[in-house]
């Protein structure tokens, strides 16, 4: 009912701002072609009766306009959105088990973004999102999870919500009930834009940046000389009976230090984690398993796995686009554990991504990425049994016009998940409509 109410409320501003949303030239052209000869002006056009009818029509329009204006957005609210449609298949998907499959699948995402400022310097962000069709083919970690995947079974839900505001000239504070850690970073850790797989987001979507939408907050400082730093926290149990920063909570605190120039960037992010296991977008099954709670401890509370992770990132891009020289993004992740039930104490992984822009037409992009998902590298006792994973993707993205982007992509990998039989090759065509 809340979504229905919100949707009805949003229809009024759309109607009120129709002149901005529709192509008026095409509408006028249609009206001209549909007009009848009897509508031509003649000597009776401006007689008293027609003039009275015209005035009544104008008054009616004014009344309707006032009704529309009463329900419109605040003047400081900006609305935009996108629709995404994808179709593809993955050879080798059945070998991953679970709900993975190799069938050709078609999926969609529909998203609204609402940004509202109350002072001119602050921002309230709310994202509404719906999706379906991703289940099985393109929403399984790590090897097939699509960068746009969101399966809500067609329900239109509040997907993100947070508020940010300045504290002085260089500091920004952010908090909200639905946010991920990387939205609060002081600097962008990677300029590689994935064409198919979420695993390659942020220079490797793993140890420090592996995310889960949850209660969170943070502070970021951005200096005028390129240096920046941020500290963020996220809690999975703050919105439940578990509570924020309790023994039952699953949380993480990230600290980033970065330097960003016009065409290059270096950063290090340290992540202190308590029962947090959201790095499975870019890790093996061995490392992702047994990384949260490990059973009941003293006082009938859950013992949670403790982890410390470091994400090193760097990128460089050429001054001019349209050349044979690509932008280069690299990442290395390392993580250490305590009290895991399987005795794993360390893991690591890497990423390299290349992008070429404006090669054949304006705003097109070629992408190529390779990487090793984080894998276990050390155990405290016993013998380590782990695979040697490898993943890749390649794509070409182009724009038929300013609002549509088409991205055919191929991707794959060897030993990507649990054993040496987990080899993949996939193809997907993604079309994005922005409005």
What confidence category does residue 10 fall into, taking pLDDT thresholds of 50, 70 and 90? Answer: very low
Torsion angle, alpha carbons of 430, 187, 288, 146, to 10: 0
Report for 31-45, 133-147, 220-234, 235-249: range of highest mean pLDDT = 220-234
Q: Are residues 328 and 217 in the same domain?
A: yes
Q: Range of 421's domain?
A: 80-434
Q: Are residues 59 and 113 in the same domain?
A: no
Instruction: Assess whether pLDDT exceeds 80 at residue 354.
Output: yes
Q: Are residues 402 and 258 in the same domain?
A: yes
Pair 109, 148: CB distance under 8 Å: yes
What is the per-residue pLDDT for 18? 40
Neighbours of 312 (CB within 10 A): 18
What is the per-residue pLDDT for 244? 84
What is the per-residue pLDDT for 406? 98
Residues 6 or more apart whose Cβ sits within 8 Å of residue 255: 229, 230, 231, 269, 270, 271
Domain assignment present for residue 117? The answer is yes
DSSP string, 182-215: GGG-SS-S-----SSBGGGGGGSSSTTT----EE
Report for 4-13, 284-293, 375-384: range of highest mean pLDDT = 375-384
Tell me which of 128 and 246 has the higher pLDDT: 128
Domain assignment present for residue 75? The answer is no
Instruction: Assess whether pLDDT exceeds 70 at residue 415.
Output: yes
Pair 235, 245: CB distance under 8 Å: yes
**Weakest-pLDDT range from 6-20, 60-74, 194-208:** 6-20
Tell me which of 61 and 187 has the higher pLDDT: 187
Kindly report, residue by residue over 23-68, the tens digit of the pLDDT.
Answer: 434 434 433 344 433 444 444 444 445 444 545 555 554 544 444 4
The model's pTM: 0.80
What is the per-residue pLDDT for 302? 56
Q: Are residues 99 and 41 in the same domain?
A: no
What is the per-residue pLDDT for 118? 94
Among residues 29, 50, 70, the one where a domain terminates is 70
Among residues 17, 40, 70, the one where a domain terminates is 70
Q: Are residues 161 and 34 in the same domain?
A: no
d(CA 417, CA 389) in angstroms, rounded, equals 7
Kindly report, residue by residue over 78-113, the tens digit of the pLDDT.
Answer: 999 999 999 999 998 776 666 666 788 999 999 999
Q: Are residues 326 and 428 in the same domain?
A: yes
Q: Are residues 128 and 168 in the same domain?
A: yes
Q: Are residues 232 and 251 in the same domain?
A: yes
182, 191, 190: which is closest to 332 by C-alpha? 190
Among residues 70, 95, 110, the one where a domain terminates is 70
Tell me which of 69 and 378 has the higher pLDDT: 378
Question: What CA–CA distances, in Å, run from 222 to 121, 171, 257, 339, 403?
Answer: 15, 7, 10, 37, 32
**Weakest-pLDDT range from 51-65, 82-96, 200-214, 330-344:** 51-65
What is the per-residue pLDDT for 391? 96
387, 372, 380: which is closest to 337 by C-alpha? 380
Domain assignment present for residue 236? The answer is yes
**Weakest-pLDDT range from 23-37, 271-285, 315-329, 383-397:** 23-37
Kindly report, residue by residue over 157-186, the tens digit of the pLDDT.
Answer: 999 999 999 999 999 999 999 999 999 999
The pair of three-digit structure tokens given for residue 47, joined into one six-digit string: 């007689």
Q: Are residues 31 and 161 in the same domain?
A: no
Residue 103: CATH number of its domain: 2.40.160.10
**With pLDDT > 70 as the criterion, what percentage of the chain qualifies?**
79
Q: Are residues 84 and 38 in the same domain?
A: no
Tell me which of 399 and 133 has the higher pLDDT: 399
Instruction: Assess whether pLDDT exceeds 60 at residue 412.
Output: yes
Instruction: Assess whether pLDDT exceeds 90 at residue 214.
Output: yes
């Amino acid at each position: 009912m809340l979504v229905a109410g919100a949707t009805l409320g949003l229809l009024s501003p759309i109607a009120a701002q129709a002149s901005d949303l529709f192509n008026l030239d095409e509408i006028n052209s249609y009206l001209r072609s549909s007009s009848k000869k009897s509508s031509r002006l003649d000597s009776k056009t401006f007689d008293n009766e027609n003039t009275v009818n015209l005035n009544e029509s104008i008054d009616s329009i004014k009344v309707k306009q006032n009704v529309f204006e009463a329900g419109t957005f605040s003047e400081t609210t900006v609305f935009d959105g996108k629709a995404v449609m994808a179709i593809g298949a993955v050879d080798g998907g059945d070998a991953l088990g679970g709900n993975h499959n190799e069938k050709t699948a078609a999926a969609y995402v529909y998203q609204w973004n609402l940004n509202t400022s109350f002072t001119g310097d602050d921002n309230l962000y709310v994202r509404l999102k719906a999706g379906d069709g991703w289940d099985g083919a393109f929403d399984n970690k790590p090897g097939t999870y699509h960068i746009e995947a969101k399966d809500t079974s067609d329900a239109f839900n509040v997907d993100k919500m947070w508020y940010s505001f300045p504290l002085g000239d260089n500091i920004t504070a952010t908090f909200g009930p639905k946010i991920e850690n990387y939205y609060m970073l002081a600097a962008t850790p990677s300029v590689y834009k994935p064409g198919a797989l979420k695993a390659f987001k942020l220079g490797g979507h793993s140890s420090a940046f592996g995310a889960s939408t949850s209660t969170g907050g943070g502070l970021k400082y951005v200096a005028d000389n390129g240096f920046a730093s941020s500290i963020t926290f996220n809690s999975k149990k703050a919105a439940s009976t578990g509570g924020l920063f309790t023994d039952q909570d699953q949380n993480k605190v990230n600290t980033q230090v970065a330097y960003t120039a016009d065409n290059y960037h270096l950063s290090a992010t340290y992540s202190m984690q308590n029962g947090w296991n959201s790095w499975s977008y870019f890790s093996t099954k061995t490392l992702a398993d047994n990384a949260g709670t490990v059973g009941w401890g003293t006082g009938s509370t859950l013992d949670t796995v403790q982890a410390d992770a470091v994400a090193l990132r760097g990128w460089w891009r050429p001054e001019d686009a349209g050349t044979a020289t690509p932008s280069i993004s690299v990442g290395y992740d390392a993580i250490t554990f305590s009290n895991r039930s399987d005795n794993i104490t360390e893991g690591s992984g890497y990423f390299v991504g290349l992008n070429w822009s404006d090669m054949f037409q304006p705003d097109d992009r070629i992408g190529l990425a390779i990487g090793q998902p984080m894998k276990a590298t050390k155990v405290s006792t016993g013998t380590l049994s782990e695979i040697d994973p490898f993943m890749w993707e390649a794509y070409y993205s182009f724009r038929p016009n300013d609002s549509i982007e088409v991205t055919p992509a191929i991707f794959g990998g060897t030993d990507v998940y649990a054993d040496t039989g987990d080899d993949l090759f996939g193809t997907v065509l993604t079309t994005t409509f922005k409005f």
